[in-house]
Chain A
Amino acid sequence: MEIGPIFRALLRNRTGAILIAVQIAFTLTVVLNAAVMINEQVSKAGRPSGLNEADTFHMQSEAIDTINPQVTINNDLRAIRETPGVANALQMNTIPLSNGGWSTGVRVQQGDDPPVYSAAMYMVDDQAIDTMQLKLIAGENFAASDVVWRKPDESGWPGRVIITKALAKSLFPDDSPETTVGRAILLGESPANIIGIVDQLQAPWTQSSQIESSVMVPQQFQTGSPRYLIRAEPGQRDRLMPEIEAQLAERERGRMIRNLYSMDEVRRRSYNLETGLAMILGFVMVVLLLITGLGILGLASLSVRRRIKQIGIRRALGASTRDVLRYFLIENLLITSSGVVLGAIMAVAFNIALVNAMNFPKIEWYGVPLGMVVLVLLGQLAVWGPARQACGVSPATATRTV
């Protein structure tokens, strides 16, 4: 219909239109790439660890004042487990999600030079599966008699281990993980047999690419600074945290209790960078859309003001308010459409550059058209106000203004 004349009028005043179109193109580029990044960061920060995190917390006791820490650790554990409100507790060499821990290269025993997979080592006792509420999908738990003390300077590993499903899949790519119970593997140079498979137990390093590979060994670490992981009955965690801290400090004066954190807090700290990045990008994205919208609004209202007389003349010549409204909406549509087409190209190019330069997520196929539609709608929304204002121009303006 009237696209022709609107387009020709635009061409006569093209600088303004080009500016908006380029602005929209940049906005689309940033918004699309920020959106995939936000999506990735948020889902990374939210992926499950395999533990019941909501009810669990941990703490570390430093400088146990005794010649033999085994006694203190056993006493601590017994007292914690007996505290009302505690569901179960465990001594561990490290805490999932805490970004510090032990790792070993794991490989199968047969074949020459089999591939080595790096796995996290968790030293735990027979209460581990219950305390962390892990899901044992095949095989069996450790027996209490499996658990032995590990000296601080000991190397090598015990012969009965429980591994994660993901590690089993890596080690035995041809078999279903459930059937790998009983197989022989090497932890470093120590031979071991798989006695059980758990569905999930993440390694402590949140940035690791092999985060799903973990091994549990039936050992208690003989250390002067043991870490305890404690699961409370539902709803009791916050009450128990200070209570158990006080209880431990009370029982042995010389020691220091450190790192008293709920698992929620551990997760929050470990994924700080991811959530922070997502927040910053989200903010940038929203503000950018806002600025672009306001910019379109500002330019449109200026152009309405400049064209008051013209609009009056059109009205005097018989244009209805609908026609005037449509004029501005179509004009805006022409500008934003060229902007989003340019923007789609730029966004994909920028995305490809990012994917090549770093481990960056690709834009999904539907992301580009979705972003284009959003920006076109934004443009229409922004121009709506000034266009309504243009509709208010009286046809008499044509004769009155100089």
Chain B
Amino acid sequence: MIFYYLRLAAISLRRNWGQTTLMILAIGLGIGVCMSIVTINYLMAKDPIPDKSSQLYYVQLDNWDPNRPAESPNEPPDQITWMDHQALMSAAKAFRQTGNASATAIIRKPDDDNFRPFLARIRGNHADFFPMFDVPFLYGTGWTSDAHRDWGADQVVVLSRETNDRLFGGEDSVGREITLGNPTEFSSNLFRVIGVLDEWRPVPRFYDLTSNYFSDPAEIFIPFGLILSQGLSRSGNTNCWKPTGDGLRAFLGSECVWIQYWTELRNHQEKADYMAYLDQYVTEQKEGGRFPRPLNNRLSNVNEWLDHENVVQPEAKMLLAVAVMFLVVCLLNTIGLLLSKFLGKSSEIGVRRALGASRGSLMYQYLVETAMIGFGGGLLGLLLTWLGLESMLAIFGSDASNLMRLDLNMVVAAVALAIASAIGAGLYPTWRACRIDPAAQLKSQ
């Protein structure tokens, strides 16, 4: 019977091709626009590390100006100071912990004069960073938590996969050497590769939301302390609320915040203990004259932190609302056209009923027709989604390329949404068509 219905649908759709085109176009455009915008929202809002997002906590300490909060109404700053970083790291009260910060360096290959130097994004972090964030390795490993190495005695680096491709053509480069140079001072130092990451680009880059988190994954990882001891050029945001003295030493002893601090706390107990530790730490510091504001420490898990930092821009939410309304208009359009189409077939419906079609079989027949329109609309919608993402990529530039990827989930979702919305739109007209009273139709001659 399905083939018979498919044939009937094909005949009926071909007979009114103008109307059919209009319906497919309406559904396709609705899906296309809606899905492009939904895709971006989905990629912005999706959990970047679903397995552990509830165990990773971002630390905020309120060391700010007694007269005004770092951010209104009463938010602590979004990074911590060097002094607090040192204290928290050496106390090591969490299951795992890492401070991290970004820098830039000019990368050269000491054994290859033809290699064109480039400016790379460096991330300084501690050993726990890799196991905490489930960072996958292709070759080698990260540095171990041996404090001696972690604080930067050994000049080792871990390369991202892309960086390894660029520097070593993708081969196992463990043991090779590169130099990291300070772009503002003419100095550079040799580093030995100890690990190469596999593909790892969490979007958004949750471990550092202080800048450009939809693009720019870190290219090279180095032990945290080396950022300072090797005189690399720090590139992240630095915020200060009171003047610092001159020189590095003064900067490190200042209230300027520039380090992002993460902990892994496996359960409520660990979280409560850590919070208690933070409060106790700040209370002690208050005695030394620091932390003039009331106690205001925060632990936010990954999703709370993304939310706090407004990773999904309000504009994106507005666009989403607009996209949904757009889809609604397209569906209303389709409902209207289908209704009018099916009601135009009242006499055919009457005849079929007289010839022995049950309501169920008519429902089936018209749903097949609707589903066909939905399928056409879905395919068109998919094409338009892809086109939409491509053109947004053209508009927003490569910065946004991580956000514009159509993954398999989204493809399936687009087709499903198309067919579901077409059938949803078709349900009411079909139902109305099947309610048509055959006797009245046959009588009205």
Contact = CB atoms under 8 A, between A and B. Distances in A.
A–B contact, 8 Å CB criterion (strictly below): yes
B22 A224 contact: no
Interface in B233-247: 243-247
A299 B392 CA distance: 33
Interface string A342-365: 000000001000100111100000
B184 A225 contact: yes
A30 B29 CA distance: 15
B26 A224 contact: no
- The secondary-structure label for the interface of chain B is helix
Given A64-B186, A258-B119, A302-B340, A291 B396 contact: no
A30 B186 contact: no
A188 B243 contact: yes
A27 B328 CA distance: 9
A126 B181 CA distance: 33
B184 A273 contact: no
A153 B247 contact: yes
> Chain A CB within 10 Å — which of B33, B319, B322, B335 has the most?
B322
Contact of A277 (B246, B247, B319, B340): B319
A213 interface: no
A26 B328 contact: yes
A203 B429 CA distance: 58
Given A26-B329, A281-B319, 10 more contacts: A15-B339, A23-B332, A30-B326, A151-B246, A153-B246, A155-B243, A291-B26, A298-B22, A298-B337, A306-B344
A6 interface: no
A273 B315 CA distance: 10
Contacts of A64: 186
Interface in A152-180: 152-156
Contacts of A15: 339, 432
Given A62-B106, A224-B185, A295 B119 contact: no
B333 A302 contact: no
Q: Please tell me the size bucket of the interface on B.
A: 35 or more
Contacts of B117: 256
> Chain A CB within 10 Å — which of B186, B314, B339 has the most?
B186
16 contacts: A23-B336, A30-B329, A34-B322, A63-B186, A155-B243, A224-B184, A256-B117, A275-B395, A277-B315, A280-B395, A295-B26, A295-B336, A298-B333, A302-B337, A357-B314, A358-B317
A84 interface: no
A374 to B, nearest CB: 15
A224 B106 CA distance: 13
B106 A63 contact: yes
Contacts of B246: 151, 153-155
B395 A62 contact: no
Interface in A286-302: 287-288, 291-292, 294-295, 298-299, 302
Contacts, number: 152
A275 B337 CA distance: 35
A359 B22 CA distance: 37
A224 B181 CA distance: 12
A276 interface: yes
Interface in A237-277: 254, 256, 258, 269, 272-273, 275-277
Contacts of B250: 153
Interface string B383-412: 000000000100111010000000000000
B114 to A, nearest CB: 15
Contacts of A29: 325
B33 A287 contact: yes
B82 interface: no
Q: Please tell me the size bucket of the interface on A.
A: 35 or more
A256 B119 contact: yes
Contacts of B245: 155
Interface string A67-111: 000000000000000000000000000000000000000000000
- Can you list the 6 inter-chain pairs with the closest CB atoms, starting with the nearest? A224-B184, A358-B314, A295-B333, A19-B336, A276-B395, A23-B332
A113 interface: yes
Contacts of B30: 291
Nearest to A297: B22
Contacts of A284: 33, 322-323, 326
Contacts of A358: 314-315, 317-318
Interface in A329-384: 350, 354, 357-360
A63 B119 CA distance: 11
Contacts of B141: none
Interface string B9-40: 00000000011001001100110010001000
B334 to A, nearest CB: 8
Contact of A288 (B22, B186, B317, B326): B326
B81 to A, nearest CB: 16
A66 B187 CA distance: 11
B130 interface: no
A224 B186 contact: yes
Given A26-B332, A153-B251, A291-B329, A62 B184 contact: yes
B256 to A, nearest CB: 11
Nearest to B314: A358
B109 to A, nearest CB: 15
Interface in B303-341: 314-315, 317-319, 321-323, 325-326, 328-330, 332-333, 335-337, 339-341
Nearest to B239: A103
B153 interface: no
B445 interface: yes
A95 B126 CA distance: 34
A303 interface: yes
Contacts of B337: 295, 298-299, 302
B74 interface: no
